Amino acid sequence: MAATVPWYERRACIWAALTALTIAYLAGYLIHPASPINAALKQSWWNWSDQIHYLQSAVAFSRGDLAPSEHWYPLSYPLLAAPFAALSAKYAFFLVDLAGLLAAAIGYLAFARRFGVSVPAICVLFVLPVATYPKLAEIWVVPWNSTPTAGLIWLLLAMTASYMFEPVPNAWRAAAMGLVAMSIAAIRPNDGVFAAIFGVVALAHAVTHRRLRGRDAAAAIAGAVLVACAYGALHLGIYGWHKTAYMIQERDRLFLFHDLPFKAFVLLFDPRAWFGDGIGIMQHLPWLALTGAGALSAPFIFRGPARWAACMLAAALAMHFVVYLSYVELVPTGLDRYDNVHYFKWAFPGCSLLAWLWLRQFWSKERPRHLAAPLAAFGIVALLMLPRLEPVPASATEEARLLIFGNTRVDWFAGYVLDSRLADLRGTMSNHDDMHLIPERDRLRVVALRRLFDGPVRWIAAPPGVDPKIMPRRYRERVTLGWPCALPPYPCGATPESR
């Protein structure tokens, strides 16, 4: 006699959860102050720097306009919205983004079920980041190309896990995996690295278990090549054999992997001492410490396909944080103010799942015989949270991370957004690419990013309101140990003169 399926595991409950998510998305769209429903075009998000490019490209596609001047960002996201732009430009991305959200939820549900997590728990884990970091609710509503990639990433995770748990040869499934993987890269090229990780893990699993079939590999490659060729043809039709202006810009900005410790500290733990404002991601989401413990202990607390799937998720999340914490454009002042937290859209639900899988070990019937690995992993994460990067005064001969120009009043837009340049002994540093200017009430902060300030500085192009004769106070980094800055009572966050 078949066991009775609990009500919360039945298909009707899953449909109810997806319906509730759709209603929540609609409600968020209706109440967002920058939604085109509530604001005129000049006040809506269609006047924001990224969204205006999305809309311009989608509208151009809808009328068959392939002029290079109409297309700035990668082409796939606007292309998805083009059919809807022909009907109503203001709401062109509404259904595209809703589909991305629902795809993320479905993929997340399918992936998490592989670990025996119940449907109600999965629903809670999916919305936990939003519940503890309310800003995250907005980024699912505002048009960003990270929304469809979030859906595709979770679908690909679910498909790859299915391949490992149920290794039945199926060329169509392999082709679909290749197609989805390349679609991620076509929408957000930076996110293509995560799709590559899934592919490498699936290949390694097939090889180690002697299940690799040439037909499946060829099908996966064919699916990826199909998308790549279609995108390449569109690129050639618009730009020819030339790189786009956006590609050149991103090539020049690059990623600051050498500066990862500093970027990780100010973005994850506490940015105030250096940037004067902002809240670290872990100050919003302190349970991310459990995510780290879950990632480190994944190889030890799972067996079989579950181990492969958990390690795949852990590796993708680790790479995600390394890539985006190193991204020169991602700074604490833009994390919430300009919604740059949307870079982590797919990652945060994955973080909550890993945190739960780690926590569940302490009461699960299937827990490992020894809890040494999960506890050791948590200990390592706790130790990694102890170091602090404090600003201390630097002499004129020491390299400096932070400059503070006192008695200076600069308009926020003029200082933060517009191009400014400083010169030191090693050359010129530009706002955004090499440093960041943060105007405050009666002073101006300048934080070095690509490299430190070396010796005296002088303005090559100063924002309005800066007296070139004012010499800045200089600060270097000092590493100390103490209670984690990301946890109450948040002991960090002051520059020396304000203590």
What's the pLDDT tens digit per position in 257-268? 999 999 999 999
In this prediction, residue 39 carries a pLDDT of 75
The answer to whether position 87 is within a domain reads: no
* 345 and 290 both lie in a single domain: yes
* 373 and 395 both lie in a single domain: no
In this prediction, residue 211 carries a pLDDT of 82
Write down the pTM of the prediction: 0.94
| Inter-residue contact 326 to 274 (CB < 8 Å) | no
Tally of domains in the chain: 2
| Inter-residue contact 318 to 288 (CB < 8 Å) | no
* 226 and 318 both lie in a single domain: yes
Task: Name the domain boundary from 346, 380, 414.
Answer: 380
* 411 and 331 both lie in a single domain: no
Neighbouring CB atoms inside 10 A of 380's CB total: 13
Residue the block writes with tokens 């991370």: 401
- For residue 392, the SS3 value is strand
For 438, residues 6+ apart whose C-beta sits below 8 A from its C-beta are 275, 276, 277, 333, 415, 416, 444, 445, 446, 447
d(CA 278, CA 331): 10
For 121, residues 6+ apart whose C-beta sits below 8 A from its C-beta are 356
The answer to whether position 207 is within a domain reads: yes
In the sheet that holds 421-424, the strands lie side by side as 427-430, 421-424, 458-461
d(CA 349, CA 200): 22
* 246 and 117 both lie in a single domain: yes
| Inter-residue contact 46 to 94 (CB < 8 Å) | no
* 436 and 315 both lie in a single domain: no
Residues of the chain with pLDDT under 70: 1-5, 7-9, 252-253, 365-369, 495-499
Q: Which amino acid is at 103?
A: A
* 374 and 412 both lie in a single domain: no
The answer to whether position 52 is within a domain reads: no
Q: Which amino acid is at 29?
A: Y
Residue the block writes with tokens 């590796």: 315
- For residue 473, the SS3 value is strand
Task: Name the domain boundary from 380, 412, 438.
Answer: 380
The answer to whether position 51 is within a domain reads: no
In this prediction, residue 365 carries a pLDDT of 67
Residue the block writes with tokens 């048009």: 143
The answer to whether position 61 is within a domain reads: no
Q: Which domain holds residue 463?
A: 391-481
DSSP, residue by residue, 267-329: III--HHHHSS---HHHH-TTHHHHHHHHHHHHHH--HHHHHHHHHHHHHHHHHHHHHHSBTT
- For residue 77, the SS3 value is helix
* 280 and 429 both lie in a single domain: no
d(CA 486, CA 493): 10
- Tell me how far the alpha carbon of residue 198 is from its chain's centroid: 17
| Inter-residue contact 59 to 92 (CB < 8 Å) | yes
In this prediction, residue 308 carries a pLDDT of 95
d(CA 380, CA 293): 8
* 149 and 265 both lie in a single domain: yes
Select from 120, 217, 147, 123 the least CA-distant residue to 177. Answer: 217
The answer to whether position 45 is within a domain reads: no
The answer to whether position 497 is within a domain reads: no
* 405 and 367 both lie in a single domain: no
Select from 317, 313, 311, 302 the least CA-distant residue to 157. Answer: 313
Select from 71, 68, 45 the least CA-distant residue to 57. Answer: 71
d(CA 250, CA 258): 17
* 365 and 407 both lie in a single domain: no
In this prediction, residue 248 carries a pLDDT of 81
* 164 and 214 both lie in a single domain: yes
Structure tokens at 235: 């690129």
Peptide bond into 134 cis (omega under 30): no
Could you tell me the end-to-end alpha-carbon distance of the chain, in angstroms, rounded to an integer? 71
In this prediction, residue 261 carries a pLDDT of 95
CA gyration radius, the chain? 24
